[in-house]
Structure 1
């Protein structure tokens, strides 16, 4: 790099800042993920050809009160998935991962996190109604869910107008309700 000294004479010297940035970049190379959320051109073409966004639009245009948007059985989450979800959401509550703590609190085993059920509702609403349609998602938890519990999540349309309102329910296979709520979707 060419620089001028105090008297205005041009001198050639290496830029220490550039070298420093280059070394820092090499040190971070293992930590930085480039293009994390980008699809390859081939995957983009496949997604466009599948037309997944158009399916939601077609389904939502024919909705009427009383229609079931989805009713899906989810397999048991398992302890490993609960631990991964706790770490991913940075939930330090030991009742989700520590068996002894859960038993001391009066439960037979660790509990599934409530946000895990909410996340499943959000995922299913996006899949069945189309991406970007969720305006409001309110979920209330009525009973604990354990790692070996399979759940049936259901969304039923209650009102169709400017927005589509749905009632959400999560039930165990034995019929016990674990969560209920509402969702508002763009039409």
Structure 2
């Protein structure tokens, strides 16, 4: 299926990039629905909420930029403070990370603030207390999963689980046949 270009350009032109310049449309009778204008109206209806975090007043995120989830995923495997600062800037604004570092924010605090910002930014309005409870529950669940996984690997056997006696009868019957029953020894 070929894409229809209202400006009449061929598929090899800039249309391949799905970008049409407004000037290209000036000479056409194409009606353009303006998402940007629509979205600006929608966002204007939202009353921003503010939060004070370690002395810094931030706007509570209500919608995440597309690249934030990607940044967070990359940050999980990074030890570079610039990666962390980039995520914080995308969520809460430039220089916020440095202000929190200067305010001596702790790792536990930061974990709550980051999870809170991500949750709110993904449309789940949460308080700091709810976010803390969510993190604690996730840690308990992870701890139980780790304990279950490690207890399943302690025993012997091909499956990694603990071994157990299958039945006393099978062992005793073999002893009787071999003539080494406990009764005869005693």
Question: Fold match, TM over 0.5?
Answer: no
TM-score with structure 1 setting the length: 0.21
TM-score with structure 2 setting the length: 0.21
Structure with the largest fraction of helix: 2
Structure with the largest fraction of strand: 1
